[in-house]
Amino acid sequence: MGVRSRARSAGGAAGSVPGVTAGLGRSSITSMAEVPAACQALADQVSTLDQQYSALVAQVSQEEGAQAWQDLARLGGLRQQLEAAQAALDGCVQANSAALTGIVNVIDATGAAAQGTQTVTLWDVSGASAVPAGQAPVTSGAFGLKGPVPAKPALTLQTTGAAGFSVTGYDFRSGPLPDPLPAPPMRCEMVICPQVVVPPAAVHAWASSFQAVHQQVSLPTLQGSVAVALSSVTVAFAAGTITATATGTINGSILGGTIPLNQIPFSADVPFSLAPSGSPQTGDVVDFAIVGPGPVIKILAGPMAVLNSFLSYLQPFIKDPLQNSLSPWVEQVMPKLIAAALALPQLPPSTTITLRSLKIDGSGITLQPVLGTIGTGLSTFKPVPLPAS
């Protein structure tokens, strides 16, 4: 039978110190419910501290003078320990009595990762977009989420309140959880990795490998249709942004065919930012966002006045191909860079990648990745490092 947490009180002794009573008069969930096995160690700690507090109260009640004041100071410190242990026990019992319970195993491979408060969010990913379905704190490495659990659930964990560090992303993104769910408590493991720098050369390599894209654009208000061809891309780095400059040509006609457009050259500057993805789905590691009003398109030849009137129609047909090319490149290159930073040929199977932080400047893209998995795949991983050369 599990140990219950309960308030104890010592019998009032003659000559007791005024204002000192045994126990804390606590009323909590653990005083009314059996303690789950996962919380038994905390319950034992509370019981031990409770007994020590009661014994010291009885002792202080018989003292006076300097000894009494010294033991009162000890009693105050013991009371703080007992309150902290009781709060941890209450959180543990609550976490292990919920519809979906889990434990969090954080492995810090940096030795100095930002510490703070973790919050777990339950998501419903059964629809076209993810919808939050619940939230709970992580207490003493455990969490509990109230029901009902969605038919297709997913989890994210995020750290807040990490003093002195900038944690703008997430610690863990599960993707759709297994069906059926693992036996409770579900184990969420993560490895906080050292920072990784994606050098400008790597992004330049992506730009130079950009495959030409051709798209047909209908312009009903201008009575025409044009074919937009993106032929090449270059990139430039600045604080917080990367600017992709795309060049291409426009072919077609407008105004009912009265104005032909034959191989009209153009360029487009597309400043964009990257941020850690907060999606519970694990496909996208970063979020791509256009900075400012959108691509700045310049017509390099042709009937300028007429062409400038439909530049706004071209913006999505320039932005979307860039994003559609960049996203799969990130998904391909990121695991390789992280594995190399850890001297591994590849990451462990079924490992998800989440970013805690991401910064863009002239040196490239600096990010802190976190590896994640459901189960024990990271804590039991036996590495075979890369050779020295």
Express each pLDDT in 119-133 by its tens digit: 999 999 999 999 999
Distance between CA atoms of 305 and 302, rounded to whole angstroms?
Answer: 9
In this prediction, residues 203-224 reach a mean pLDDT of 88
pLDDT for residue 164: 55
Tell me the per-residue pLDDT of 356-375, one tens digit each, with 9 for 90 and over.
Answer: 999 999 999 999 999 999 99
Cα-flanking dihedrals φ and ψ of residue 252, to 5°? 145, -150
105-111 mean pLDDT: 92
| Torsion angle (degrees, nearest 10) of CA 162, 165, 168, 172 | -60
pLDDT surpasses 60 at 10:
no
Model confidence at 163, pLDDT cuts 50, 70, 90, reads low
Buried b (16+ CB within 10 A) or exposed e, 103-142: bbebeeeeeebbeeebbbbbbbbeeeebeebbebebbbbb
Domain ranges of the chain: 1-97, 101-192, 200-335
Q: Is the pLDDT reported for residue 23 higher than 50? A: no
Q: Transcribe 164-219 into DSSP letters.
A: TS---S-SEE--SPPSSPPSSSEEEEEEEPPPEEE-HHHHHHHHHTPPPEEEEEEE
Please give the Cα distance from 248 to 233 (Å, whole number): 9
Mean pLDDT, residues 244-265 taken together: 86
Structure tokens at 153: 């659930």
Please write the tens of the pLDDT for every residue from 291-330. 988 788 888 776 665 666 667 777 888 888 888 898 889 8
Whole-number Å distance between alpha carbons of 312 and 305: 14
Nearest-angstrom CA–CA distance, 180 and 174? 15
Residue 172 CA, distance from chain mean position: 5
pLDDT at 105 over 80: yes
pLDDT at position 330, please?
Answer: 87
Model pTM score: 0.71
Query: What span, in angstroms and rounded, lies between the C-alpha atoms of 184 and 186?
Result: 5
Angle at 367 between CA 359 and CA 323, to 5 degrees: 70
Find all residues with CB under 8 Å of 37, minimum gap 6, and list them. 2
Residue 40 confidence (pLDDT) above 90: no
CATH code linked to domain 101-192: 2.60.40
Q: Give the chain's mean pLDDT.
A: 85
- CATH fold of 200-335 reads Bactericidal permeability-increasing protein; domain 1 (3.15.10)
Element (H, E) at 364: strand 364-374
